[in-house]
Every structure is written in C-alpha cells, then in structure tokens.
Amino acid sequence: ARLSSGGTLTWPGVTHPQEINGTLRADATPAATSSSIADEDWPAYGRNQEGQRYSPLKQITADNVHQLKAAGGFRTGELHPPNGPGAH
C-alpha cells in the first residue's frame, strides 16, 4: 500500500465481529422478570430490564392524581424570557 503525505493507511482485513458464539448452561438462572420484582422496588432504569416504566402501586388513582405536587426539580441552565418561547 502506498501512503501519501497527509493520508491514512487503513486495513479492512481487521474486523471485530458483532456476535458472541458460545453455549449457555442448562441450569443458568434467567434475569429477573417483571413478575419477580417486588411491587415497591425499582431496581433498573425503567423499573425492569424490559424498560416497562409501570408501577403496580395503588396509592395514586384517577381520583387523587390532581393532588400531586412536584417533589423536586433540576435546572439545566437554559433560561427563557418570562413571556417568550418556553415560558411556563
């Protein structure tokens, strides 16, 4: 291969396969499913490995949801004019 000044030499023969070949033991324990997580737990982003984002808790209902208030907040540093686009 010829390399010119300012050029780059690449070798397409070096690849990294995007697969993992192997076997799984018959007695391997599967990951926790939605039904095996306690109602009050949220062990992963999205509550479970499926990203379900559903809480089976019953304290919030259609009758009392209007009583909820923000418990906290986070400012990203983006400021909007009081009456401009993005004003609350």
Examine residue 54 and state whether it is found in any structural domain, yes or no.
Answer: yes
Torsion 8-12-18-23 (CA) sign? negative
Question: What domain range is 38 assigned to?
Answer: 30-59
pLDDT tens digits, one per residue of 17-63: 677 788 877 777 666 565 688 888 888 888 888 888 888 889 989 99
Domain count, the chain: 1
Contact between 69 and 76 (Cβ < 8 Å): no
Q: Is residue 17 part of a domain?
A: no
User: What length does the chain have?
Assistant: 88
Amino acid (one-letter) located at 48: N
Query: What pLDDT, in 10s, does the model give residues 11-28?
Result: 555 666 677 788 877 777
pTM of structure = 0.34
